Amino acid sequence: MVFAELRFARATDTTPCTSQNMLLSLSAVTRSATEEGEFSPERVREWLSSLSAADTMGSARALIDRVVEMNRTELPGRIRLRVLDMFRDHADWLLPQLETRIARAQPPLAGTHRQVAYFIEKLLKELAAGYARTVLRVPRAWLSIGFKSQLQLPLVRAMDFHARRLALSQRLYARSPGAVWGEMHQLYRLAREWGVAERETESPQTSPVRIYRDTLLLAFAQPSKLNHGDFARVQSLLAQHGDLAQVAPAGPVSDPLCVFAIDPRRDQPGVAYAKRANAGFEDGELMLVTHKLVERIQAHLKKIQDGVAPASLELPDEAVRLSYQELLQRLIVHWRGERKQRTARMRFHPRVELWVGLRDIWRLLRAESPHDTPAADITQREAPTKASEWVVLNESSRGFALNYMSGGLPPISVGEIVAIKSKDKGAVFVCFVRWVLSNNPEHFELGMQQLAPVVVPAVYKSAEQERVAPEPILFFPEMPAQKRAAAVVAPPNRLRPDEEFSLRHRRGRLSLRASRVIEKTPSVELIEVVGQRSA
């Protein structure tokens, strides 16, 4: 994932167990084991109480080792499940403390953040493995006796831990753990076969279908394209409105939009029906139908834009912000599953240099064209910081996909502005980062969209604040042939709609008015401007 030692491997060395509330003792599963031993409930309780509450990292390491050892040890089924529940109870106290430490972490993770994330993933993985084997390896003969409902709780807990593993990797822009989707599909299929898919449990308070549906929706929201912090917002949105989406058996589809095909035989969430090469469903597949969910989000977005209070729509107060409304618009697109027209891509692998952030890009462009900006307007004369080196994975007319090679690497998140410079031609391209993928500090990929072919470093000054020093800004001139209006990239919250300001660059002075915010990210705003005229 985001750590070198983590490989999202599927645990295969655990042994079966069943619910501790079963009337039938499952000690026959492992005849050589006895209740007396290292994993007797009494000894486990004593061991858990000895863990230090102050040393969360040490406790996490010790708990992981203990769960791994238990998964490798033969135990009577009822003892195994009882001990597993004790480990789970302690993990429920420990995991939130670990998750707090990486709540604001951005890729690529390194050092302590990397180790914390590894401990979280490893603990979730081992707990999921223990509960999953309870369900997947129970003898079928026992199911006919009527114990299916009692197996629901370990089934739900296995699905819940797998869902949390997926959420961790998605939030940290990493690939999904191997085999986790295959097991999620398998567990949900059993829940349907046993007739418990809709039945609620208390700890956690959920059902198999709710876990399965929300996990699918998070995957189809394309987490690698979400801005930092948006993943938690999507989770909150699903907690309120996720039940509007439905998991259903495959069937005829008149409109491919808002329908996703799920093939339980594959270790992946599924694919939008509109993007399938073949129009029909195969036997045994499921569908995720999102029509009602998309309609609800569209209605809420319109009401917010019309001035309706977010609280009345069960949305957070921040829904009035442009960035939140842009998130809703992206979710509408992703959950509709529209097929986008792919542009032709040239697959070659030249090396390029990359700069991150508005100020460094401005310095780079000024250094490339030293006469662009009058010296009197420059408040900081330092050169741009040293660039990192990347390999171009592919290039299209709209942007680039890059893979990190070497050099200093600051945190880069979706929505960041970056510039790349080819080593052979020396051309500079200014782009927005659209997706991020980082499995470890040595692996970092970016997908970027180019903003415009021509960019000019400039300085601007508000007409209302004469004493304020000019600030760096990127100016994209109007290009009528490409139907591109003039625009600027500025720091967030610097320019208001209809605000007038002056801009100076190599072509002289321009008097402009901010027309509308095209896009707002955590680091910059892309603003359309009008009324330019030479001074």
| pLDDT tens figures, 251-295 | 888 888 999 999 998 999 999 988 875 644 554 589 999 999 999
| Mean pLDDT estimate for the chain | 84
Fold of domain 351-450: Thrombin, subunit H (2.40.10)
Q: How confident is the model at residue 502 (pLDDT cuts 50, 70, 90)?
A: confident
- Where does the pLDDT of residue 23 fall: very low under 50, low under 70, confident under 90, or very high at 90 and above? very low
Alpha helices for 12-110 (secondary structure H): 41-49, 56-71, 77-101
pLDDT tens-digit series, residues 51-92: 999 999 999 999 999 999 999 988 877 888 899 999 999 999
Interatomic CA distance for residues 460 and 449, integer angstroms: 25
Q: What is the mean pLDDT of residues 306-333?
A: 94
Q: Which of 101-105, 135-139, 483-487 has the lowest mean pLDDT?
A: 135-139
pLDDT at site 35: 44
pLDDT tens-place string over residues 451-485: 998 999 999 877 666 656 778 999 999 988 888 89
- 344 — pLDDT class (breaks 50, 70, 90): low
Residues 231-237 have a mean pLDDT of 96
Lowest mean pLDDT among 126-135, 139-148, 237-246: 139-148
pLDDT higher than threshold 80 for residue 10: no
In 314-389, which residue ranges form alpha helices assigned H by DSSP?
Answer: 322-336, 358-368
The predicted-structure confidence for 110-131, as pLDDT tens digits, reads as follows 889 999 999 999 999 999 999 9
The pair phi, psi for residue 432, each rounded to 5°, is -100, 140
pLDDT of residue 2: 41
Tens digits of per-residue pLDDT, 386-413? Answer: 789 999 998 887 889 999 999 888 889 9
Query: What mean pLDDT comes out for the span 442-447?
Result: 90
* pLDDT of the residue at 285: 81
186 closest CA partner among 258, 262, 289, 244: 262
Distance CA 267, CA 20 (A): 31
d(CA 179, CA 155): 17
Give the span between the Cα atoms of 278 and 280, in whole angstroms.
6
Q: Is the pLDDT of residue 372 over 50?
A: no
Lowest average pLDDT, out of 141-145, 392-396, 447-451, goes to: 141-145
As a whole number of angstroms, the distance between CA 253 and CA 324 comes to 32
pLDDT tens by residue, 87-99: 999 999 999 999 9
Count CA atoms closer than 13 A to 414's CA, side-chain side: 22
User: What predicted TM-score, i.e. pTM, was given to this entire model?
Assistant: 0.85
Nearest CA to 110 among 245, 4, 246, 228? 4
Domain ranges of the chain: 27-215, 243-336, 351-450, 456-530
- pLDDT for residue 216: 98
Task: Return the percent helix, strand and coil in the chain, to nearest 5.
Answer: 40, 20, 40
What is the Cα 497 distance to its own chain's centre? 31
Q: pLDDT digits over 511-524, tens only?
A: 889 999 999 998 99
- Arithmetic mean of pLDDT, 335-360: 79
HEC secondary structure over 258-295: CEEEECCCCCCCCEEHHHCCCCCCCCCCEEEECHHHHH
Confidence band, pLDDT 50/70/90 cuts, at residue 507: low
Question: Are residues 184 and 212 in contact, defined by beta-carbon separation less than 8 angstroms?
Answer: yes
How far is it, in rounded angstroms, from Cα 280 to Cα 211? 27
- For the CA atoms of 332, 335, 336, 338, what is the dihedral angle to 10 degrees? 100
pLDDT given for residue 282 in this prediction: 54
Q: Tell me the percentage of the chain whose pLDDT exceeds 90.
A: 59
Query: What confidence score (pLDDT) does residue 535 get?
Result: 42
